[in-house]
């Protein structure tokens, strides 16, 4: 009897689940939508997507083609794996294909943040950002600051076992803290550091505003960073001293993009955040690939030793040196490609739209998934081989499907700054040190590249 009740209960549960599943499919059944499945109500197919990563995408593609629908990360989403369609989406923001980042990220990075705005507001924030991180600034001001920072950050690594993942994360944040505010030590530096790492955690969380959630902690960290920046701005305005850093430039008369205090604060948080994960992961993975490919390391080292031989030991890396680092640039692109530092970017529709012959309803997300392009044998011969030499052909950097730094109106404005930071890091790292891995390194590649147990190396002077 008891067994019969259990079987009946299981049967009813199964029927209920199937009905729920079916209801969710029917809810999204509308003429013209791309093929695909929507999974469970609310959760959709998020857990399969996160667990299986690229395999989830490839198995869907095998079934439905390169343009399919799903429900991931809390929203109905169309996933595009077609290079041509991806290009179209990136190039056509004005047709109603705006940036579509998750709510937690927007709440924590601020309403004036570049990823939260479009149209004229985006043009203003982007122009103001390019004025502080673009090539002229890199040449005249930022390279010197990056150089000073890297020399000091890489000091005293000799005969140490270090976690290079931790060091490159600190490097990416601290170098931007120096460039934006000139803060390099002391209580303010400590406060910014503690709050920033909490803020980052919050941006990757579900927007659940309860005590102890990463979201709540991230929002509080943002509020604390806003307070610190407001205090800094009022001290600068009251003292009338103009500092030679990004905040100084944003507050100055010479800056033609007039931003209010809220916009300036969100702009500074953008600089902290946008280059953080990309620069740190590229640097860490470059260390990994260089370790595994001694010939590449040898050529890279030769490039940097040759540069150093023309200079005094205390001379900083300047613009001409940076522009002469052809092989370094190639190593950075190849690292970014093979490690797939960025899997794709998110967009959202502002109205019902037809894309690639299908309907995408207003408010749906589009995941412009660019990962597979990195392994396309027609673009990159032997795509799974680490071969920086392929990038010495400069045309490769300008092909139609080069999306390592995004594309269209949201092409990364920090591209050259990011490359300059990683190049300067590599300059001091490979000219000063040799290294070996300690205890192996487990790497996760999706949804973000990371070493869950750290990436430990033993460093010795070269
Ligand atoms: C190796 C380093 C970097 C990589 C691989 C990278 C990659 C990218 C990608 C793929 C996008 C496109 C996002 C989208 O379309 O939604 C992007 C946008 C952006 N990046 Fe970078 N980035 C790097 C470094 C930096 C740095 C150092 C900064 C610092 C200022 C920065 C600031 C930004 C900003 C503000 C955007 C948004 C632009 C907009 O919405 O108009 N990035 N980046």
Residue 281 reports pLDDT greater than 90: yes
Residue 290's alpha-carbon distances to 88, 385, 426, 450, in angstroms, are: 35, 13, 10, 17
Q: Which domains does the chain have, with CATH numbers?
A: 114-461 (1.10.630.10)
Residue-wise over 426-435: b if at least 16 C-beta within 10 A, else e? bbbbbbbbeb
171 pLDDT band (50/70/90 cuts)?
Answer: very high
Instruction: Give the bridge partners for 433, in sequence order.
Output: 461
415 pLDDT band (50/70/90 cuts)?
Answer: very high
DSSP result, 374-386:
GG-TTTSSSTTS-
Contacts of 119 (CB under 8 A, 6+ apart): 94
Which pLDDT does position 43 carry in this prediction? 83
Closest CA to ligand 1's atom 38: 410
Task: Give dist(CA 270, CA 266) in Å, integer.
Answer: 6
> pLDDT tens digits, residue range 122-149?
999 999 999 999 999 999 999 999 999 9
40 pLDDT band (50/70/90 cuts)?
Answer: confident
> pLDDT tens digits, residue range 283-342?
999 999 999 999 999 999 999 999 999 999 999 999 999 999 999 999 999 999 999 999
Which pLDDT does position 394 carry in this prediction? 83
Residue 16 reports pLDDT greater than 60: no
274 Cα to the center of ligand 1, angstroms? 6
443 pLDDT band (50/70/90 cuts)?
Answer: very high
CA-wise closest residue to 329 among 448, 403, 427, 434: 427
244 Cα to the center of ligand 1, angstroms? 23
20 pLDDT band (50/70/90 cuts)?
Answer: low
Between strands 353-355 and 456-461, the pairing is unpaired
Which pLDDT does position 446 carry in this prediction? 87
| Across 46-55, 117-126, 271-280, least confident range | 46-55
9 Cα to the center of ligand 1, angstroms? 52
Closest CA to ligand 1's atom 17: 412
Ligand 1 residue neighbourhood (C-beta within 6 Å): 99, 114-115, 126, 129, 133, 270-271, 274-275, 278-279, 282, 336, 341-342, 345, 404-406, 410, 412-414, 417-418
Residue-wise over 255-268: b if at least 16 C-beta within 10 A, else e? eebebeeebbbbbb
Query: Is 15 assigned a ligand-binding role in the annotation?
Result: no
CA dihedral defined by 404, 333, 180, 106, rounded to 10 degrees? 20
Residue 22 reports pLDDT greater than 90: no
Q: Is 103 helix (H, G, I), strand (E, B) or coil?
A: helix
Q: Are 102 and 74 in contact (CB under 8 A)?
A: yes
Q: Global pTM?
A: 0.94
> pLDDT tens digits, residue range 59-102?
999 999 999 999 998 899 999 999 999 999 999 999 999 999 99
Contacts of 152 (CB under 8 A, 6+ apart): 184
> pLDDT tens digits, residue range 173-205?
999 999 999 999 999 999 999 999 999 999 988
DSSP result, 262-330:
HHHHHHHHHHHHHTHHHHHHHHHHHHHHHHH-HHHHHHHHHHHHHHHHTS-TTPPP-HHHHHT-HHHHH
Phi and psi (nearest 5°) for 44?
A: 55, -130
DSSP result, 161-219:
EEEHHHHHHHHHHHHHHHHHH---SHHHHHHHHHHHHHHHHHHTS----STT-HHHHHH
CB atoms within 10 A of CB 282: 26
Which pLDDT does position 441 carry in this prediction? 84
207: left (phi over 0), alpha (psi -120 to 50) or beta: beta
Residue 15 reports pLDDT greater than 80: no
In 102-174, DSSP assigns E strands to 160-163
Which pLDDT does position 73 carry in this prediction? 84
pLDDT above 90 covers a percentage of the chain that reads 85
Residue 9 reports pLDDT greater than 70: no
Which pLDDT does position 240 carry in this prediction? 85
Which pLDDT does position 206 carry in this prediction? 84
Closest CA to ligand 1's atom 3: 278
Which pLDDT does position 226 carry in this prediction? 98
Residue 31 reports pLDDT greater than 90: no
Atom of ligand 1 nearest to the CA of 408: 15
């Amino acid at each position: 009897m008891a067994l019969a009740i259990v079987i009946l209960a299981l049967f009813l549960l199964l029927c209920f689940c199937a009905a729920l599943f079916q209801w969710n499919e029917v809810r999204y059944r509308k003429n013209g939508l791309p093929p695909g499945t929507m999974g469970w109500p609310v959760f959709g197919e998020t857990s399969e997507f996160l667990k299986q990563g690229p395999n989830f995408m490839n198995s869907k593609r095998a079934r439905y083609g390169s343009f399919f629908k799903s429900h991931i990360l809390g929203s109905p989403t169309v996933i595009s794996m077609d290079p041509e369609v991806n290009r179209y989406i990136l190039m056509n923001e004005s047709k109603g294909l705006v940036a579509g980042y998750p709510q937690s990220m927007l709440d924590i990075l601020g309403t004036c943040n570049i990823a939260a705005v479009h149209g004229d507001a985006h043009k203003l924030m982007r122009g103001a950002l390019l004025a502080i991180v673009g090539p002229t600034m890199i040449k005249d001001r930022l390279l010197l600051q990056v150089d000073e920072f890297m020399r000091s950050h890489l000091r005293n690594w000799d005969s140490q076992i270090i976690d290079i993942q931790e060091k490159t994360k600190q490097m990416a944040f601290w170098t931007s803290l120096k460039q934006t505010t000139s803060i390099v030590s002391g209580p303010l530096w400590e406060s910014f550091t503690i709050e920033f790492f909490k803020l980052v955690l919050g941006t990757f969380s579900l927007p659940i505003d309860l005590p102890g959630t990463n979201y709540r902690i991230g929002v509080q960290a943002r509020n604390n960073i806003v307070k610190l920046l407001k205090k800094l701005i009022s001290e600068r305005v009251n003292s009338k001293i103009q500092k030679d850093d990004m905040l100084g430039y944003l507050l100055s008369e010479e800056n033609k993009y007039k931003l209010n205090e809220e916009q300036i604060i969100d702009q500074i948080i953008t600089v902290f955040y946008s280059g953080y994960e990309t620069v740190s992961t590229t640097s860490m993975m470059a260390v990994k690939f260089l370790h595994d490919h001694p010939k590449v390391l040898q050529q890279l080292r030769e490039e940097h030793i040759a540069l150093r031989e023309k200079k005094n030991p205390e001379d900083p890396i300047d613009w001409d040196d940076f522009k002469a680092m052809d092989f370094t640039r190639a190593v950075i692109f190849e690292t970014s490609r093979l490690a797939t530092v960025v899997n794709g970017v998110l967009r959202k529709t502002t109205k019902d739209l037809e894309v690639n012959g299908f309907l995408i309803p207003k408010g749906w997300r589009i995941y412009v998934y660019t990962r597979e392009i990195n392994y396309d044998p027609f673009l990159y011969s032997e795509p799974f081989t680490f071969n920086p030499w392929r990038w010495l052909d400069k045309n490769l950097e300008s092909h139609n499907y080069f999306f390592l730094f995004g594309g269209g109106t949201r092409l990364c404005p920090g591209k050259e700054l990011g490359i300059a930071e990683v190049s300067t890091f590599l300059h001091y790292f490979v000219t000063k040190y040799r290294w070996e891995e300690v205890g192996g390194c487990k790497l996760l590649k999706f949804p973000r590249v990371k070493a869950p147990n750290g990436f430990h190396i033993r460093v010795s002077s070269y």
